[in-house]
């Protein structure tokens, strides 16, 4: 899923928000006809100078005079420093403001032509940097007034603090490039979580959980200051309905820990290991970046998913398969996927066949790298593993010990991967499940076959049981192909509206960071 780089994070981080003071009024008057990109000299704080500059500006731009008080409030702690410039260029926030204002219905902006010139690279504007900054501040006041007409009134300088945030840039860039509705509704679910996390971040209640050194696993009935901190964290995240402040690992906290672990893909038990505390301590800023990145991934999902009344979705980082039919989740199952060196491919396909009691034709790479030496050293190796050599290829016969289990689901693809059952059920007990050579191993494979064959009356439960007896391969071609989406989401919202964050098992988040992840409002 290739991301669109719109506003590099390095550029956003580079915004220093430094305040460059304006020239004294006398110096400004000698330069006010120069191009917007001239350099300022630092001046001493002088209220008379500031007042003189503002009086002169609103005299020349008299249609903005009614906004004077609100505009000047933006500069009250800036010594009339520039808001919308970095050195001699309009910064990203100025550009975002301009685009947002243009898209606001019924917003009448005095001196719109002058403002347009500021963003016209071909124009040779004579507007000074001082005037340009105050024009944009006036535009900000008009835009904010229009968009907060029905909301609780806040001071403009207070609202400006929220606007001058890198997420404003990301939100706006997505709006500018997302005219069509996002088809995959997971996008909007992640968006709602992002809003909650932003609110939580502004509350400043997110404090690092401190632990004893060396760390010892925390179990039910333990008493520890760390327990009280975990309780507060789970309350903030919504896993607890109240925060009793208790430092005892009681029944109430056990339920919250289990809820937290299940939604985040951890092994469902009550043990609080160091890795769980480490995950709880991931900064909110990183969580929000992950949410934004996965919102971008939602936009890369095929639009067909919204139109599909039946599909299978496999999310690699959460090691989970979901089968949806008639718009409702029919089955979820744990899976294990390709190891880092034999990654499961991320792509869309169509399941066209279900094969019961399958043979397993061993890939030549496995024969060369793993089996050749074993066969050479043990003449009975193939027979002991229920394998045989056919036309120069090694294949494993049907049976309960077959590496594909008792059923596989085929969807043509150049990488020759598929979903299948497995005799290695104990592997599903691991939290990190990257064991295969690329195929998707499904814990509830039989249940999936039963669910997918409900519209085929000839496939009774008895017939399915017989087909899965491990004696003879039986392939059934589906009259209606079932779309399958193999995706890579490190955060997802489940059916209960709960957010989960998962391991970046293939380090794709590191490859595509939020310098090219974008979010809409």
User: How far lies 399's CA from each of 119, 420, 424, 447, in Å?
Assistant: 70, 13, 13, 18
Distance (Å, rounded) from C-alpha 222 to C-alpha 240?
18
Q: List alpha helices for 177-245, DSSP H.
A: 186-203, 225-237
Distance CA 105, CA 475 (A): 59
Using an 8 Å Cβ cutoff, are 312 and 331 in contact? no
- Cα–Cα dist 356/375, whole Å: 28
Question: What would the two tokens of residue 376 be?
Answer: 């050479």
Report the SS3 class of residue 466.
helix
Q: Running DSSP on this structure, what letter comes out for residue 184?
A: S
Collapsing DSSP to helix, strand or coil, 180 comes out as coil
Estimate the share of the chain in helix, then strand, then coil, as percent rounded to the nearest 5.
40, 15, 45
In angstroms, how far apart are the furthest CA atoms of the chain? 99
Half-sphere exposure at residue 46, Cβ-oriented, CA atoms within 13 angstroms: 13
Contact 234, 256 (CB under 8 A): yes
408 SS3 class: strand
Token pair in block for residue 306: 């919204």
What whole-number distance in Å separates Cα of residue 81 and Cα of residue 74?
A: 10
Which sequence positions are flagged as catalytic? Answer: 420, 439
**What is the helix (H) or strand (E) element at residue 287, kind and residue range?**
helix 284-300
Q: Are 88 and 154 in contact (CB under 8 A)?
A: no
* Beta strands 440-442; 419-420: pairing state: parallel
**Is the CB of residue 15 less than 8 Å from the CB of residue 82?**
no
- Asked if 12 and 166 touch (Cβ cutoff 8 Å), the reply is yes
Tokens of residue 513, six digits: 């960071």
């Amino acid at each position: 899923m290739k991301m669109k780089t719109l506003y590099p994070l390095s550029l956003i981080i580079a915004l220093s928000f430094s305040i460059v003071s304006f020239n004294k009024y006398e110096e400004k008057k000698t330069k006010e006809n120069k191009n917007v990109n001239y350099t300022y000299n630092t001046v001493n704080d002088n209220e008379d100078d500031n007042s003189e500059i503002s009086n002169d500006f609103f005299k020349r731009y008299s249609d903005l005079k009614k906004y004077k008080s609100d505009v000047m409030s933006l500069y009250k702690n800036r010594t009339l420093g520039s808001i919308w410039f970095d050195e001699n260029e309009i910064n990203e926030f100025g550009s975002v403001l301009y685009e947002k204002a243009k898209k606001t219905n019924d917003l009448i902006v005095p001196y719109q032509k002058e403002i347009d010139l500021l963003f016209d690279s071909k124009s040779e504007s004579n507007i000074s940097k001082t005037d340009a900054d105050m024009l944009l501040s006036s535009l900000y006041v008009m835009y904010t007034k229009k968009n907060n007409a029905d909301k609780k009134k806040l001071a403009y300088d207070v609202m400006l603090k929220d606007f001058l945030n890198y997420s404003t840039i990301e939100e706006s860039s997505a709006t500018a490039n997302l005219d069509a509705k996002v088809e995959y509704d997971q996008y909007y679910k992640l968006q709602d979580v992002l809003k909650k996390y932003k609110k939580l971040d502004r509350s400043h209640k997110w404090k690092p959980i401190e632990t004893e050194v060396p760390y010892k696993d925390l179990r039910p009935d333990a008493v520890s200051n760390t327990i009280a901190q975990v309780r507060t964290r789970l309350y903030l995240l919504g896993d607890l309905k109240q925060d009793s402040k208790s430092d005892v690992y009681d029944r109430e906290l056990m339920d919250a820990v289990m809820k937290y672990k299940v939604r985040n893909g951890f092994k469902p038990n009550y043990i609080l290991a160091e890795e769980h505390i480490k995950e709880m301590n991931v900064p909110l800023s990183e969580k929000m970046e992950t949410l934004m990145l996965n919102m971008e991934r939602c936009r890369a999902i095929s639009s067909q998913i919204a139109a599909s009344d039946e599909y299978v979705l496999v999310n690699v980082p959460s090691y989970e398969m979901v089968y949806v039919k008639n718009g409702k989740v029919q089955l979820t199952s744990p899976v294990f996927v390709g190891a880092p060196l034999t990654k499961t491919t991320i792509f869309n396909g169509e399941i066209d066949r279900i094969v019961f009691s399958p043979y397993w034709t061993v890939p030549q790479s496995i024969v060369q790298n793993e089996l050749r030496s074993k066969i050479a050293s043990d003449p009975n190796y193939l027979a002991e593993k229920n394998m045989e050599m056919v036309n120069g290829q090694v294949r494993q016969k049907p049976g309960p010990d077959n590496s594909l289990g008792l059923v596989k689901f085929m969807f043509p693809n150049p990488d020759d991967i598929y979903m299948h059952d497995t005799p290695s059920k104990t592997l599903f007990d691991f939290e990190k499940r990257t064991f295969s050579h690329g195929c998707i191993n499904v814990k509830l494979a039989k249940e999936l076959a039963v669910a997918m064959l409900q519209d085929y009356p000839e496939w009774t439960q008895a017939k399915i049981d017989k087909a899965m007896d491990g004696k003879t391969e039986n392939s059934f071609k589906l009259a209606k192909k079932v779309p399958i989406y193999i995706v890579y989401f490190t955060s997802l919202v489940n059916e209960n509206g709960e957010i989960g964050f998962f391991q970046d098992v293939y380090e794709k988040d590191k490859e595509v960071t939020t310098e090219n992840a974008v979010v809409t409002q």
